[in-house]
Structure 1
Amino acid sequence: MDYMDRLNFDGSCDPNPGGRMGFGWVITWKTKRSPTEGSKEKRKSPTNTNNVAEYTALKEGILNYLKLKGKGPLQVCGDSKLVINQMSGKWKINNKKLADIHGQINEIIKKNDLKIKYKWVPRNQNADADRLAMPAGKQQAKIREVKPADRKVIADTNTASVSPRLRVKINELNTNPSPGFKEFARLKVGGRDSFSSKRIEELEKLAGKDATKLVKKEFSSDLKNQASALRWMLRGLAADLAVQKVKVDAEISKKREKKMRKR
């Protein structure tokens, strides 16, 4: 809605729960004023969660909007269905921590007589806020912004032997200039497919010399990660994204193993 200012927000907690939280927001003004970006972090705490981070990001974004003399009406956009549906009154709140932040936000809105409309948006339409929400220590898990047209794709996901749902997810990532950690983490095959059982030698032959050279450079002597990256490329994921996907999966696996050792 171009007649309204717009606030996009996103939050993250790594690891979830209990990790460091990051909050990001982007204000797009209805005037010719340049968009305003902002971010904050909070150190590790047992009460930190992704949902708390999402709510806090919204609160910080609204406070920043008011500080910058925003008067409303304001279109609030986020990729958290929980926050959007609870703030708009469609869903009940059963968590005390979230209810407290929810109440604080509504008090701020009421005090400033701010008119707000809430809208859920898919993650690929919330990329800038997602980028800002990543804690500084996790920036290495983000890739540099790349123009989708410049990406190297060795297989067409529209004709590759993948499920329709996975095809949609891959296309979303391929057209996103700066996908976040969460997008990679949520990219799943959903079981085994025609590429899952192929050995590294066959994958290298199918992917070609350039792709093989890239994965050997990125993962050195780690054949498992090399094979995983090649499989994602053959499913249609762009080469740079396939490498990043494997790195994110390796980081998640490392955290999971660390938790298991502590038990």
Structure 2
Amino acid sequence: MKFRIEWTYGVPKGIDAVFSSEEMPAEAIIQIAEDLERTGRVKKIRFEDQYDSNWTLKEVKAYLKEIETEPHQVQIYFDGGYERSSGDAGLGCVIYYKQNGKSYRRRANAKLGELSSNNEAEYAALYFCLQELEYLEVRRQLVSFIGDSRIVINGMEGEWPIIEDKLGSWVQRIKDKLNELGIQDEYQLAPRKENAEADKLATQALKGISIAATSEILD
């Protein structure tokens, strides 16, 4: 979850000014708040999450402690491959996250039939990633979704209209699942070479190679 911070700053002559920040992860916002408090000139600090709810510094710290045992700082790479001759799609998903002070990577893929285009396969891959998040029991988290499909990224951000009915159906399924899991989604368009791992998983799925594995990332 991301927060904004608003603080009232006072100088010795009695002049006060109110400042606010952009949205930042909870860890960063706590560091800034504690540093501001050390100046001794901050009269009031207020935290606001992306849902416009107010928090105290104590509550933000408690939230971080609460999610420490849950998957958090989640980043997902997704990709979909499509075979026009068979109508089959390969779905690839790579999830990076932290839990209990350790870093993990989950790699998973799946094969899906009766699709009509590569664009539909890309949306199906995104939905598959949400199913993987559900498996990991990710709840109430900000999740970054990274892919190389401009249609999916811009479509989910609302920058491009969804004209095809089949794609619109996938968008609705994705939004419903996001709401069910309480996930705030953000999207990033990546060059294809940066999405190579998810692409490989999608290709393997089309070849009948099934993968579902979680491993710890060692420094």
Range class of TM-score, shorter chain: 0.5 to 0.7
Tell me the equivalent position of 2:116.
48
Tell me the equivalent position of 2:77.
8
Tell me the equivalent position of 2:182.
113
**Cα distance in 2, alignment partners of residues 92 and 57 from structure 1:** 19
User: How many residues matched?
Assistant: 137
**Cα distance in 2, alignment partners of residues 14 and 87 from structure 1:** 24
Tell me the equivalent position of 1:244.
none
**Cα distance in 2, alignment partners of residues 137 and 39 from structure 1:** 9
Q: Tell me the SS of whatever aligns to 1:30.
A: strand
Tell me the equivalent position of 2:147.
78
CA contact (8 A) 1:88 1:118 kept: yes
Query: Larger relative CO (CA 8 A, sep 6+): 1 or 2?
Result: 2
Tell me the equivalent position of 2:41.
none
- Correspondences of 1:87-236 after superposition (within 5 Å): 87-136=156-205, 138=207
Tell me, which stretches of 5 or more residues in structure 2 are unaligned? 1-23, 28-72, 210-219
Aligned residue type for 2:82: C
Q: Which string of whole-angstrom CA distances, capped at 9 and with x for unpartnered residues, describes residues 41-98 of structure 1?
A: 023x3x4311111000000101111220123210000000000000011110000000
Tell me the equivalent position of 1:58.
126
Assess, with a 3 A threshold, how the Cα gap between structure 1 residues 127 and 139 changes in structure 2: closer, same or farther. farther
Q: Tell me the SS of whatever aligns to 1:69.
A: coil
Assess, with a 3 A threshold, how the Cα gap between structure 1 residues 52 and 34 changes in structure 2: closer, same or farther. same
CA contact (8 A) 1:20 1:135 kept: no
Aligned residue type for 1:28: Y
**Cα distance in 1, alignment partners of residues 98 and 116 from structure 2:** 34
Q: Tell me the SS of whatever aligns to 2:95.
A: strand
TM-score normalised according to structure 1 size: 0.48
Tell me the equivalent position of 1:68.
136
**Cα distance in 2, alignment partners of residues 13 and 112 from structure 1:** 28
Tell me the equivalent position of 1:256.
none
**Equivalent of 1:24, from 85, 92, 99?**
92
Aligned residue type for 1:8: Y
Tell me the equivalent position of 2:104.
34
Aligned residue type for 1:133: A
Residue 30 of structure 1, CA deviation = 3.4
Identity level (%): 31
CA contact (8 A) 1:21 1:48 kept: no
Tell me, which stretches of 5 or more residues in structure 1 are unaligned? 141-263
TM-score normalised according to structure 2 size: 0.57
Aligned residue type for 2:97: W
Once superposed, what is the RMSD of the aligned Cα atoms?
2.3
Which structure has more strand as a fraction of its residues?
A: 2
Aligned residue type for 1:95: E
Q: Which aligned runs of 4 or more in structure 1 are off by greater than 4 angstroms?
A: 135-140
**Cα distance in 1, alignment partners of residues 95 and 206 from structure 2:** 24
Q: Tell me the SS of whatever aligns to 1:64.
A: helix
